[in-house]
Structure 1
Amino acid sequence: MNMLQVEVFSEYFGVFFAVIGIIFLLVGGQGLRGTLSFRRRAKQTEGVVTDLRARSSGSRTGGDPNVVYYPVLEFTTQDDRQVKTEARSGRSPAPADEGERVTVQYDPADPTSAEIAGSSTGLFLYGLFIVLGAIFTVVGLVVQYALSLF
């Protein structure tokens, strides 16, 4: 790196960190808002896991694929509609076994939007985005301020 590159890098390093942090905060906030909104309007009923759909999502250390299982839920809504749908989110390991009876949360306006009750995957993931976003934003602003003193 020549001197000009070092100068430009040090001048924008904090800004870059802060922008990444703000993006994480926005993604986490939107996701958390959507998850909490779904849970507020969701109705609960009993259902059964009729299938588990495995999907590869990247790879773990060592090259093995990380498999996430999405349960297929079958249930009857409070207004007696039969619904069979894939859950909104998946987990690894599988959240339930095929044939297992579970409590299902579903959106009464769109019963195909459903998940196994008690799943905290979305809350954890979006909470993590918010925490990381806050850390990146604060670090970026502190670094930018410290660099501006020189």
Structure 2
Amino acid sequence: MRDARRWVMWGAIAFGALFLTVALILAGVSVSFLADAERAPGTVVALEWRNDHNGASRKAREDDRPVAYPVVEFTSADGRLRTFRSSTGSNPPSYDRGEHVEVLYRADSPGDARINGFASLWLLPLIFGGIGLVFAGVGTAFAMARRRRS
């Protein structure tokens, strides 16, 4: 029983550390993107509604509501009109059709564009970081309590 608890404790710490590492990498990607990004005004031209089930159970699919992904048009520095679908969707929609947004994109890769918003830049690092902190914190708390007992 003791060995099982030890494995769970160290597993939680390792799992938390892994998620914290992923969060730091994702945050670094966002920071790097922001440092190199060109800015352009854009307009939400459509909302693409999708049911993203990803292998969810039948019950989960019945309770799911579709998610709206904004489709944005902007003119890049080379003068070309570009369109992209945001990778971040929500229900209710975060943006309305016709809404003006700031677009961030790399000059050498205008197809890699994002809306300059909290969710599109920081949501994944925060999710991974939060999960990592919880697991690493719980594992560390158990390790400290175990150490005090012995």
Does the pair score TM above 0.5? yes
Distance 1:87 1:94 in 2: 12
Distance 1:30 1:55 in 2: 28
Give 1:120's aligned amino acid: F
- Summarize the Cα distance change of 1:134–1:101 in structure 2 as closer, same or farther, 3 Å threshold: closer
What SS is found at the alignment partner of 1:16?
A: helix
State the 1:17 CA deviation: 0.8
1:21 maps to which residue? 16
Distance 1:40 1:31 in 2: 14
Does 1:42 pair with 2:37?
A: yes
Q: Is the helix fraction higher in 1 or 2?
A: 2
State whether residues 12 and 144 of structure 1, in contact with CA within 8 Å, keep that contact through their aligned partners in structure 2. Answer: no
| Runs of at least 5 residues in structure 1 that lack an aligned partner in the other structure | 1-5
Q: Mean alpha-carbon deviation: is it higher for 35-44 or for 120-129?
A: 120-129
What SS is found at the alignment partner of 2:91?
A: coil
- Summarize the Cα distance change of 1:29–1:95 in structure 2 as closer, same or farther, 3 Å threshold: same
Number of residue pairs matched by the alignment: 144
Could you tell me the percent identity over the aligned residues?
27
Q: Mean alpha-carbon deviation: is it higher for 76-85 or for 54-63?
A: 54-63
What TM-score do you get using the length of structure 2 for normalisation? 0.78
| Runs of at least 5 residues in structure 2 that lack an aligned partner in the other structure | none
Q: Mean alpha-carbon deviation: is it higher for 48-57 or for 31-40?
A: 48-57
Does 1:82 pair with 2:81?
A: yes
Aligned Cα root-mean-square deviation (Å): 2.6
Q: Mean alpha-carbon deviation: is it higher for 76-85 or for 134-143?
A: 134-143
1:106 maps to which residue? 105
State the 1:18 CA deviation: 0.4
2:146 maps to which residue? 147
